[in-house]
Amino acid sequence: MSNVYLLPVATFLIFQVTFLGTYIVAVLEGHVVPTVPYISDAATYSPESCIFGQLINIGSVLLGLTIYVRYRHILQLYEHHPELDATLVRHNRLALWFGMLSCLGISVVGNFQETNVRIMHFIGAFCCFGCGTLYFWMQALMTYIIYPMAGTRKTAHLRLGMSVCCTILFIMLAVTGVMSHILFNGQNPRKWYPSDGGWYYHVISTISEWIIATIFSFFILSFTPEFRDVSLQHPQISLMSYTMNV
């Protein structure tokens, strides 16, 4: 299978459709105010919660496949270029764990709404953004290591810049989110108005979340050029009854 480069493209598209589609439905249904709600707030009530949950699960699977292909891609580069730093294998394995934890977090966020199981939702969000940011740092580092065998210096700089932005935005998201909820004195945080208190912190937090989610999608999309050099084969299946010695 030589069209592996379509995998990060499909992942990018499914996440963009999920975020924007859920937001539009939530606004049309009157479940959130149009002024930049949290992504998860827009996916709290039915029918948008059903749409969000279904699409985010598909996105999590595609993201997991993308992360695994990237992991094997790095391994193949190391096998064909023994002059590469031996620490690359360790970095690659660590990146795989961070990436898969981020996938798990995304799925948890989609299946455990904030209004139903708050603690699980927050744990999922932390895994998604926290482990995802660490995954990006590892990928940015490895992009520098494997250059010029794969990738470009420009791509390495771009991934480093996105990693820095994600780190800053993740901190802003967490700090201003906590401060806004402490100052909130309204009735429904899904419909947060300027008179409810903590408005400016809330806006900073929600904008940070939307930007970091967008950067996440574009980071995964940046794998597309390198995946053009990757080919997958169908896994080999063996029937135990025919391979056993009698």
Q: Is residue 204 in some structural domain?
A: yes
Q: Is residue 208 in some structural domain?
A: yes
- The whole-model pTM stands at 0.90
**DSSP assignment, residue 195?**
G
Q: Is residue 206 in some structural domain?
A: yes
DSSP labels for 88-114? Answer: HHHHHHHHHHHHHHHHHHHHHHHHS-T
Q: Is residue 120 in some structural domain?
A: yes
What residues make up the domain containing 26?
Answer: 5-228
**DSSP assignment, residue 185?**
-
- Check residue 246 and give its pLDDT: 45
Q: Taking Cα atoms as reference points, which of 122, 144, 70, 143 lies closest to residue 100?
A: 70
What residues in the chain have per-residue pLDDT under 50? 246
Q: Is residue 209 in some structural domain?
A: yes
Q: Is residue 98 in some structural domain?
A: yes
For 205, how many CA atoms within 13 A lie in the half-sphere containing its CB? 20
Q: Tell me the per-residue pLDDT of 140-165, one tens digit each, with 9 for 90 and over.
A: 999 999 998 888 999 999 999 999 99
Q: Is residue 131 in some structural domain?
A: yes
Q: Is residue 240 in some structural domain?
A: no
Question: What gap in Å lies between CA 230 and CA 223, rounded to an integer?
Answer: 11
Six-digit token string for 34: 């149009």
Q: Tell me the per-residue pLDDT of 67-87, one tens digit each, with 9 for 90 and over.
A: 999 999 999 999 888 888 888
Q: How many domains does the chain have?
A: 1
